[in-house]
Structure 1
Amino acid sequence: MRYVREFKGFAGIRLESDDIGTADDPSIILLHGFGQTRKIWEDVAVGLEQAGRHVINVDLRGHGGSDWPSDARYDFDAYVEDLRAVLGQMRTRPVVVAAMHSGWIATAALAEDAATLASGLILVDPQSESGAQSVRACAEELSASVGQGLAKPDYDERLLDIFDVDGSGARLLDSAPHINIPVLVVRGALGSGHRAENSTGYADAFPNAEAINVDGGGLLVNAERTEAFNGLLIDFLERKQPRFIPEYRSGSDARTLRDAMGCFATGITIITAHDADGKPIGLTANSFTSVSLDPPLLLVCIANNAGSAETLRSAQSFAVNVLQIGQQPVSNLFAGKGEDRFAGTRWEVGEYGAPILPSSLGIFECTRNALHEAGDHFLLVGKVEKASFEPRRDPLLYFRGKYRRLHFT
């Protein structure tokens, strides 16, 4: 299946792409280099579709079928925000495949929150950081290659004088260590002198990267060694982003079940109470839910082996503190062991006797209603005696074993 799909880029610019394959398959975004269009990826896109991948093949602004802005917004940050906008409109986190100068754009776009935007990054023939001169030289080299199997360039020539990344090298080197998703750097061993000289050295800047040189890669390894390139690409994808869906069945690996449970995004709470000696205790928990409004009931799920489990089993009053984004350090503190969790934490005694954390997003002060055994956990049901919340704060979220935050669109 193939159709033309449009995305809204930075400042509302229209970005045109080919949407190829089935949307339920793992997604790949293809980004061409400057002086090219999405046509350069045609054979690669077909191979990826045949391998069971969903392909979004995008024309950059000022190229091919995408808008050529009248105000000539071809600066580096405009391209970065275009990519972030496209990623924000995807329904899944794709692998980004970026050729040549688009590698700069993708690296900068993923610098702050790679794991929430993409599931992998593949850099093809990454360029050395030499600004607009490199862009112009590569575009001219591509134009000279028409008739040798490369598509005729179709781009706004104004961008050659406007797109300038001089001085951005430090920015890219600062960005790479924060990109914790799988990264592959592919380079044609006989390619242009404008490429980064050593793909292995480039890959070293990322915490989770592999590097491969393709013999005889020529000017564009993805176009001139398509079969070899596709083989490397699909091998990497199958190892890092496999198509199969992990399954748990009774008696099999409990880790798979835990990972499946982690697909349900939750907030994070800290459950607090006083022990028999009046000492405050607390633990981090994300198994929390409302049970009833009449009567007002909630429950929390506590592991039997938790350090505070016995206190919570007998507590006649307790509090559920729903955390906000500024309380990630507090969440970590109360999830750890062997520390005085309250020593460096602002707290006070609530109206119904339990310790509360007043900086929280929401606080539920409860009296014990019921307790139910449930395997290696127990369910503590509380009657809500008092509830308060701060509407101007945002929640601290948890998804697939990592902290998250709301993304507003």
Structure 2
Amino acid sequence: MVFDIPALPAISRFPVADLSLAVETRHPAGDPTLLFAHGFGQTRGAWSGAAAALAETGCRCVTFDTRGHGESDRVVSGDYHMDQFADDLLRMAAAQPQPPILVGASMGGLLGIVLAGEVRPAPFRALVLVDITPRWETVGVERILAFMQAHPDGFADYDEAAEQIAAYLPQRRERKSEQQLRPLLREGADGRLRWHWDPALLAGGVVQESERYQPRLQAAAAKIDVPVLLLSGARSDVVSRATVDEFLQLVPHARHVELSHATHMVAGDANDAFTREVVRFVQSPAPSVDRRHAGAVQP
């Protein structure tokens, strides 16, 4: 069934503790609500294709830019921490008409794991983790950070930016157009184009905290008592067979689907397959969860 929804998403601002976030809502009358949390260095635009397709199936789809990213406010002091992002996401979830299904990629998925494991009642009715596990392969994360740090002086024009993105994502057949790049770049006073995110993010606590977060993430994962779908990319360098197996031991009721042609950028690499699996998960009966084992961290 195709639903009659507005062609353009409703754009709004959502106040959090000390700033406001840019939010888009597709199919506001839909049910269930899917709340999308993007990865470090991304924007809500990473979900545009998936959110539009899932809204067509009847879901209410909410995407937003995390603090310091995209059109959301930046922290004036430049001091960013994981707990700030987690609190923002918790507030976003609480503001929905009913507990949402969280779709979290990379950092967004890690925040979802922490909140689903530590907060009671759980702020989400289910969890879709996109190529992320409580422990990850350092080499993949280092590759992401290296790209983010590679162009501190920005780009002369959109063509130069498109060329660098194509080199970073060789699996993508289509080169990004200027229209696609505009939400990702900001023009500075010197006329050069720089990424949408606050440069202070790379120097702040988020990067330094990530490795130390792993024991907390593992403990939280073992306490998750809502349905979970883990979607991983077969060509990912961030998750591996070992990290997936470890996660499935911590969350034995989780379902895992590997998308054969995807890297860490699952939704962008294989949007049709990604959307299909999310629809299947949303429409399937909720699996039973053995709560007796919730909180038992596997060795």
Per the TM superposition, whether the score is higher than 0.5 is yes
SS of 1:145's partner is helix
Deviation digits for residues 295-314 of structure 1 (CA, Å, limit 9, x no counterpart): xxxxxxxxxxxxxxxxxxxx
Q: Select the residue among 24, 27, 37 that pairs with 2:33.
A: 27
Q: Name 1:230's counterpart in structure 2.
A: 275
Matched, 1:154 2:210: no
- CA shift for structure 1 position 129: 4.2
- CA shift for structure 1 position 130: 6.6
- CA shift for structure 1 position 77: 0.8
- Correspondences of 1:40-59 after superposition (within 5 Å): 40-59=46-65
- Correspondences of 1:253-272 after superposition (within 5 Å): none
SS of 1:18's partner is strand
Matched, 1:39 2:45: yes
- CA shift for structure 1 position 207: 4.5
* d(CA) in 1 for partners of 2:249, 2:15: 34
- CA shift for structure 1 position 178: 1.4
* d(CA) in 2 for partners of 1:114, 1:23: 27
* d(CA) in 2 for partners of 1:234, 1:80: 26
Q: Name 2:102's counterpart in structure 1.
A: 96
Q: Select the residue among 15, 28, 41 that pairs with 1:8.
A: 15
SS of 2:210's partner is coil
Deviation digits for residues 221-277 of structure 1 (CA, Å, limit 9, x no counterpart): 111100011111100010047xxxxxxxxxxxxxxxxxxxxxxxxxxxxxxxxxxxx
Q: Select the residue among 80, 97, 112 that pairs with 1:106.
A: 112
**Letter of the structure 1 residue corresponding to residue 239 of structure 2:** R
SS of 1:170's partner is helix
Matched, 1:214 2:221: no
Instruction: Choose 1 or 2 for highest CA Rg.
Output: 1
**Letter of the structure 1 residue corresponding to residue 80 of structure 2:** Y
Kindly report the root-mean-square deviation, in angstroms, between the aligned alpha carbons of the 2 structures.
2.5
- CA shift for structure 1 position 124: 0.3
SS of 1:64's partner is coil
Matched, 1:145 2:151: no
Q: Name 2:297's counterpart in structure 1.
A: none
* d(CA) in 2 for partners of 1:171, 1:20: 33
Would the aligned equivalents of 1:101 and 1:135 in 2 still touch at CA under 8 Å? Answer: no
**Letter of the structure 1 residue corresponding to residue 47 of structure 2:** W
- CA shift for structure 1 position 127: 5.5
Higher strand proportion (structure 1 or 2) = 1
Structure 2, gaps ≥5 residues long: 1-5, 149-160, 167-173, 185-194, 287-299
Would the aligned equivalents of 1:64 and 1:154 in 2 still touch at CA under 8 Å? Answer: yes
Q: Name 1:82's counterpart in structure 2.
A: 88
* d(CA) in 1 for partners of 2:19, 2:55: 28
* d(CA) in 1 for partners of 2:109, 2:225: 16
Would the aligned equivalents of 2:137 and 2:239 in 1 still touch at CA under 8 Å? Answer: no
User: TM-score, normalization: structure 1?
Assistant: 0.54
Q: Name 2:23's counterpart in structure 1.
A: 17
- CA shift for structure 1 position 160: 1.6
* d(CA) in 2 for partners of 1:130, 1:26: 30
- CA shift for structure 1 position 66: 0.8
Q: Name 2:211's counterpart in structure 1.
A: 166
Q: Name 2:76's counterpart in structure 1.
A: 70
Higher helix proportion (structure 1 or 2) = 2
- CA shift for structure 1 position 209: 0.7
Structure 1, gaps ≥5 residues long: 242-409
**Letter of the structure 1 residue corresponding to residue 81 of structure 2:** D
**Letter of the structure 2 residue corresponding to residue 168 of structure 1:** Y
User: TM-score, normalization: structure 2?
Assistant: 0.72
SS of 1:216's partner is coil
* d(CA) in 2 for partners of 1:64, 1:204: 36
SS of 2:111's partner is helix
- Correspondences of 1:275-286 after superposition (within 5 Å): none
Q: Percent identity?
A: 23
Matched, 1:201 2:201: no
Deviation digits for residues 39-79 of structure 1 (CA, Å, limit 9, x no counterpart): 11111011110110000001111110111111123211111
* d(CA) in 2 for partners of 1:38, 1:15: 11
Larger relative contact order (CA 8 Å, sep ≥ 6): 2
* Distance change (3 Å), C-alpha of 1:102 and 1:8: same
* d(CA) in 2 for partners of 1:4, 1:114: 30
